[in-house]
Structure 1
Amino acid sequence: MHPSTLDEAPLVREPRHAPVAHLLRGGVIEGVHHGSVVVLDADGRIGFRLGDVEAAFYPRSALKPVQATAMVRAGLPLEGALLSLAAASHSGEERHLAGARRILELAGLTEDHLRNVPDLPYDPAVRDAWVRAGRLPSRLVQNCSGKHAAMLYTCRLNGWSLDDYLDPAHPLQQVIAETVADLSGQRVAHVSVDGCGAPLFAVSLHGLARAAARITTAAPGAPEARVADAMREHAEMASGATRDVAALMRAVPGLLAKDGFEGVQVAALPDGRAVAVKISDGANRARVPVAAAALARAGVDPGLLTAFAGEPLLGGGEPVGCVRLVPELAADPLTICA
């Protein structure tokens, strides 16, 4: 998209979130999750909205498919599982570590070149096993290592400097910023730093959904389509064996989905229908059922989404409640408690 055709950057303001789900215990509302939801029809128009979908916000790791697309546009030759890993917030499983090492090897680099923060594995079971084995935090096991390895590989292929690849002024990050604007259809509102150390670009929730739709509707073989195909075909590499986002892509044919810290979810279908969700308090327990309800609003068969309606709330080890969607969003087949 030519810069002159981009929408203006979304406003940086306090988001006007709305209630999206209630925490129900024993028939009493114990808590309220606020957030925002947007559903795009196949023609790109907004078919449903709740809350504030136009304020600037940080997509966090839900932006990774866009970052991966930018790198492929810049010459990154990865395909399949390794390209999926480049767009991943991985769980720290051995296959993720092996994949990140392989990307670095292809670039002629090592783990020492990574500039993401050292961390423990993201998946709780994998993390516990890692700690029991006496292993320390590392850059390779941190959930963004695939993206960072791919960033380094892209820099090596283009002759760009390596030590400062996370500087927003670096050629790589400039390419990524341009791709964020192109796919979202709007100018970037603000630039900050993500948890892993990479630049983080603020767009609107509407813009994030638009970007996902652009990726899933791209022509076969285009950089966007290569990223979408890789993530859908290797969903566990883009997340992990036990992660809800991988299960969602397996459950809904053709769906591309990506989660992000602080309660962000984006998903899109091959015909351009797309949803984006932001939970104000960052709670995953609301993100998953709200995203499922948004997909039902987009026309996905609710029968494919029942596993994502949310976990029962327990009291004394027994179900006593749930996260119940607000009436504006709810689809009856996704309700798991009265």
Structure 2
Amino acid sequence: MLSPALPAHAQAPAQTPDNAALPQHVPLAVQTRDGLVESIHYGSVIATAPDESADGGLRTLFSAGDSLAPFYPRSSLKPLQAVAMVRAGLDLPADLLALTAASHSGAAVHRDGALRILEMHGLTLEALENSTDLPYGPDEREEWLRNGGTATRLTQNCSGKHAAMAATCVINGWPVRGYLDPEHPLQQLVAATVRELTVEEPERTSTDGCGTPLFALTLRGMARAFGHLAAAVVTNPGSPEAAVGRAMIQHPEMVAGEGRDVTELMRLLPGAVAKDGFEGVQLVGLPDGRALALKISDGGDRARMPVTVRGLEALDVDTSPLAGIASGAVLGGGRPVGQLTATDFITAT
């Protein structure tokens, strides 16, 4: 049966997955209602630390599920893409650099920020090649619609990144039109930067929802990259990695938005570099180079933060300030009757 979300001509050919090749995910979170398990979210998670004596210079602190299975990091790739642009000469105020790595809510501060990036480089909205969408944040979307707004490239949650991509092309004398082509110099630089930071060769490539090239990597590789970004702020403050990490730490409201759990996580956990991604992805890098990476297999967003907080707790991070985002209440008749919590998924390695 065709999906009602797409016209018939847009349907992709049916592909039957190879059951033998399915990732071996494990239960990471459960929802209970009056003591009965109502829902289970499966997934995989890994925590890593830099260690020159370990294989590949990276030590696995703990893991659960299939942390080496290829997956699409989705928007958690944005900080790595931002590093590539800084390496190519992009020089922005910290708030706008944070917006470059953002999946923003579409508030006025985000829309104005994307416009500022364009205007600083002599560009207009016509330069953007991302998909159109309404603001991602529920409150921001409601306000936008109430004022007669429609889906635009500016309100789409990746507009900061796309404005920065167009700006990077201007800085380097590259064609702005077609900057999303995988063969464009910008995307070639991004691909090389992703390979360097993850120390992985992508298993395959695809296209993200906003139109940018997307790489299939492992949770281990992404954890390595985020640990490096967060540690660089301390150990190599003049580097492009530090510039991106520092901007995200200083301006978490630009990375997501008010009321978003990723913004709250970075506010409550000083020095952490955190980014979510569609389909249940979460990355957190810590100042000492340790990192946590997870993927919820069903793409469910609600399980992402409880599992993240449980993983940070296992890393001996003081998670008491994160209590407000560590679990979710299940309501019955308007009163709490259950809870969404992480399982005891930690296995020492």
TM-score under structure 1 length normalisation: 0.92
For residue 43 of structure 2, what is the aligned residue in structure 1?
35
Which of 230, 254, 266 is the aligned partner of 1:216? Answer: 230
Equivalent position amino acid for 1:195 in 2: G
Runs in 1 of length 4+ with deviation above 2 angstroms? 41-44, 327-330
Deviation at 1:13, TM superposition (A): 4.3
DSSP 3-state at the match of 1:52: coil
Question: How has the CA–CA distance of structure 1 residues 304 and 329 changed in structure 2, closer, same or farther, with 3 Å as cutoff?
Answer: farther
Equivalent position amino acid for 2:27 in 1: P
Deviations 1:206-226 (A, max 9, x none): 101001011112201100000
User: Mapping of 1:1-338 within 5 angstroms?
Assistant: 13-43=21-51, 44-218=58-232, 219-329=236-346
- Mapped partners of 2:75, 2:319: distance in 1: 26
- Mapped partners of 1:308, 1:301: distance in 2: 14
- Mapped partners of 2:86, 2:344: distance in 1: 42
Identity of aligned residues (%): 53
* 2:228 and 2:285 in contact (8 A); partners too: no
- Mapped partners of 1:76, 1:52: distance in 2: 36
Deviations 1:41-87 (A, max 9, x none): 35331111000110110000011110100110111111310000000
Equivalent position amino acid for 2:341 in 1: R
Equivalent position amino acid for 2:105 in 1: S
- Mapped partners of 2:273, 2:216: distance in 1: 21
Equivalent position amino acid for 1:49 in 2: S
For residue 15 of structure 2, what is the aligned residue in structure 1?
none
Equivalent position amino acid for 2:244 in 1: V
- Mapped partners of 1:187, 1:214: distance in 2: 18
- Mapped partners of 1:171, 1:71: distance in 2: 11
Deviation at 1:246, TM superposition (A): 0.6
Equivalent position amino acid for 2:292 in 1: V
Structure 2: runs of 5 or more not aligned: 1-19, 52-57
DSSP 3-state at the match of 1:47: strand
* 1:215 and 1:224 in contact (8 A); partners too: yes
- Mapped partners of 2:343, 2:258: distance in 1: 30
- Mapped partners of 1:88, 1:327: distance in 2: 31
DSSP 3-state at the match of 2:328: coil
* 1:40 and 1:298 in contact (8 A); partners too: no
DSSP 3-state at the match of 2:252: coil
| Aligned positions, number | 319
